[in-house]
Structure 1
């Protein structure tokens, strides 16, 4: 049985977040054989999602969101904290990670090996406090916007995992991810809110436990009501 955690994140002054819930499938990929990148890729392909990267994360990174595309992230190794839903308020990573230089609100989740996160377009996320400690690095060929070459499975099978690593995937034929930090989309949050729901969940396919059942038909929120208490 899939353990699904749901988080509804309202917009902030700088971050659109989403009417759809952030989903966490805790320990979904419990077995080592399930976490092999090439095996995950086959599963994603069957559900019309595309692997674009495997990153090894450093101690911290800027908070950001993807304005026009939904994202799935699977934890392949290590442990980290992921902060969802708020923007950094200072470019200094020490201040915005460990201090108070961030928007109020949001949530922090401990990401463990085997966890899967389904992140709606517009939802901010920031990975930090990684263990084992390592330098940030892209582990897959290319620039992080897709795996080049005729044999993606072979390229993924050759990746050597170390530190805290995640694998990222996006719905097929929906383009590549952007990196919005909370300035670019102000005044145009509806563009993120209106990104269509994918046909299938990247890991659960047609199961109602996944986005097919958990994400409702898009209904653009009333902007005035959402921002009334900000």
Structure 2
């Protein structure tokens, strides 16, 4: 049985979050599993599209995706990821280290082998990364798909340094957007109603994954 940490994050004034739980599969993938080309194949088998590998810098702006769910696999390094709240100041030092953020949310230590399945609408912000390195897109393209004739070959050539994560989104559901808060005020239910994927990005049909843990009945949303 897979051990899954579930986090239910209620809406804030600025962030819709989701009725579906954020899923954290802590240490799910072993070192031998963490070859990007192998993870890509697993994503593809489960109907998810690999779109990027980023090396994260010291911090970033809190954001969410309004129309697509996301999976992030930690390949190398350690960091803290803050989920569920918006930044309330554009200054990254203030919103990361000095409390310029909404109340609530949850902070999770992330390390290689961890997998996060993030419902549409759930805010996230990665910071305090180790080893220290500047932010960079490591895959060919613009971060919305791997632009290469042979994707597996391109992924196998990626040099992983610093804190890196690999991201995927359900196939045929469009690209990710970058929403920082307020933009969806008054239409949170539209974000909450993004269709549930047929399979979990890494666990496929396993009932201990989003397949069994996320609800998809109209009655569920009607109670929100």
TM-score range, shorter chain: over 0.9
Report the more deviating stretch, 79-88 or 150-159: 150-159
Report the more deviating stretch, 72-81 or 147-156: 147-156
| Residue pairs, 1:74-113, within 5 angstroms | 74-113=73-112
Task: Please give the alpha-carbon distance, in whole angstroms, between the structure 1 residues aligned to 2:106 and 2:200.
Answer: 23
| Residue pairs, 1:137-152, within 5 angstroms | 137-152=136-151
* SS of residue in 2 equivalent to 1:117: strand
Equivalent pair of 1:138/1:144 in contact (CA under 8 Å): yes
Aligned twin of 2:194:
195
Count of residue correspondences: 222
Aligned twin of 2:3:
3
* SS of residue in 2 equivalent to 1:220: helix
Aligned twin of 2:65:
66
Aligned twin of 1:46:
45
Task: Please give the alpha-carbon distance, in whole angstroms, between the structure 1 residues aligned to 2:223 and 2:137.
Answer: 39
Task: Please give the alpha-carbon distance, in whole angstroms, between the structure 2 residues aligned to 1:221 and 1:180.
Answer: 25
Aligned twin of 1:24:
24
Q: CA RMSD in A?
A: 1.0
Task: Please give the alpha-carbon distance, in whole angstroms, between the structure 2 residues aligned to 1:146 and 1:189.
Answer: 27
Provide runs of 4+ in structure 1 moved above 3 Å. none
Task: Please give the alpha-carbon distance, in whole angstroms, between the structure 1 residues aligned to 2:207 and 2:60.
Answer: 33
The C-alpha deviation readout for 1:102-151, integer Å capped at 9, x for no partner, is: 00000000001100000000000000000000000000000000011221
TM superposition shift of 1:184: 1.2
Task: Please give the alpha-carbon distance, in whole angstroms, between the structure 2 residues aligned to 1:153 and 1:146.
Answer: 12
Aligned twin of 1:35:
34
* Gap regions ≥5 residues in structure 1: 224-230
TM superposition shift of 1:163: 0.4
* SS of residue in 2 equivalent to 1:200: coil
* Gap regions ≥5 residues in structure 2: none
Calculate the TM-score normalised by the size of structure 2: 0.97
Task: Please give the alpha-carbon distance, in whole angstroms, between the structure 1 residues aligned to 2:195 and 2:175.
Answer: 15
Task: Please give the alpha-carbon distance, in whole angstroms, between the structure 2 residues aligned to 1:56 and 1:221.
Answer: 40
Aligned twin of 1:227:
none
Task: Please give the alpha-carbon distance, in whole angstroms, between the structure 2 residues aligned to 1:36 and 1:220.
Answer: 38
* SS of residue in 1 equivalent to 2:39: helix
Task: Please give the alpha-carbon distance, in whole angstroms, between the structure 1 residues aligned to 2:167 and 2:139.
Answer: 11
TM superposition shift of 1:221: 5.6
Equivalent pair of 1:19/1:221 in contact (CA under 8 Å): no
Task: Please give the alpha-carbon distance, in whole angstroms, between the structure 1 residues aligned to 2:96 and 2:146.
Answer: 31
Task: Please give the alpha-carbon distance, in whole angstroms, between the structure 1 residues aligned to 2:186 and 2:223.
Answer: 14
The C-alpha deviation readout for 1:174-222, integer Å capped at 9, x for no partner, is: 0100000002111111111000100000000000011100101153265
